[in-house]
Amino acid sequence: MRIGRIILILVGVILAAGLVTGAVVFSTSHKTASVTTQVPNGQTTSGVPTSAPAATSATSSTPGTNGTPTATAATGGGSDIAITAPTRAVGTPFTLRGTGDIPSGQVLVSFVLAPGTGTYFTDGPAKVNSPGNWWVPQVHLGDQSDKCSNGHTYTVLMVLMPAASSAANTAFHQGDYNASYSARDFKNIFGSFQTWKIPVTRSGSAPAGC
């Protein structure tokens, strides 16, 4: 009987040791399975993103030919403005026309970039002649008496800006085609605003010797 008891005690000790070992193995395995390794680009080794990368956006436009406008809204959007005319070569000055509602508290100001100079001239703000339609009565493609400018293609821009901004005050203060901005000044003053642009060719041919 005593030998039987000893055997039962030994069996109990062995079984108890086995259970403890199993629990340790299970715990270690569970902890190992829960560990993930961080890798670049905000992803884990499982391929599940832990953070989204910042969104980026860009816009592009294709220049028109023969004075045909191909206006594209700048990054930012927010309005239905479009330049609709002219669609062919024009004399100077000419009338620029467009569609879309100018948002309340904003002004739409015209500029002309002279070819090959990097110089911008302003012709003042657009006027609303009926709901959804606007125009700039006189836009100048260089000096009317300068026949050497005939046949050249200018870039006409419409810039949307807050009416109460210092940029608008600057544009209105210099609201004639003799006022000019260097490329650097134009970018610094108006570069952050939404802009539409079209190529417009001045009609006629330049005389020989130009």
- Cα–Cα distance for residue pair 179/122, rounded to 1 Å: 7
Instruction: Give the amino acid at 59.
Output: T
The mean-pLDDT minimum among 45-49, 63-67, 157-161, 193-197 falls in 45-49
Backbone angles phi, psi at 4, to 5 degrees: -60, -40
Per-residue pLDDT, averaged over 153-167, amounts to: 93
What percent of the chain is predicted at pLDDT more than 90?
Answer: 49
66 against 204, higher pLDDT: 204
- What would the pLDDT profile of 98-149 be if each residue is shown by its tens digit? 999 999 999 999 999 999 999 999 888 999 989 999 999 999 999 999 999 9
Burial 1-27 (b: 16+ CB within 10 A, else e): eeeeeeeeeeeeeeeeeeeeeeeeeee
Domain 82-201 has CATH 2.60.40: yes
- Cα–Cα distance for residue pair 113/130, rounded to 1 Å: 28
What ranges do the domains of the chain cover? 2-32, 82-201
Residue pair 153/67 in contact by the 8 Å Cβ criterion = yes
- Residue 176: the pLDDT is 52
CA angle 79, 58, 77 (to 5 degrees): 10
Beta bridge partners of 112: 121, 156
Residue 73 pLDDT exceeds 50: no
Residue 24 pLDDT exceeds 60: no
Residue 61 pLDDT exceeds 60: no
Instruction: Give the amino acid at 193.
Output: F
The mean-pLDDT minimum among 59-63, 78-82, 175-179 falls in 59-63
Backbone angles phi, psi at 199, to 5 degrees: -85, 135
Residue pair 201/153 in contact by the 8 Å Cβ criterion = yes
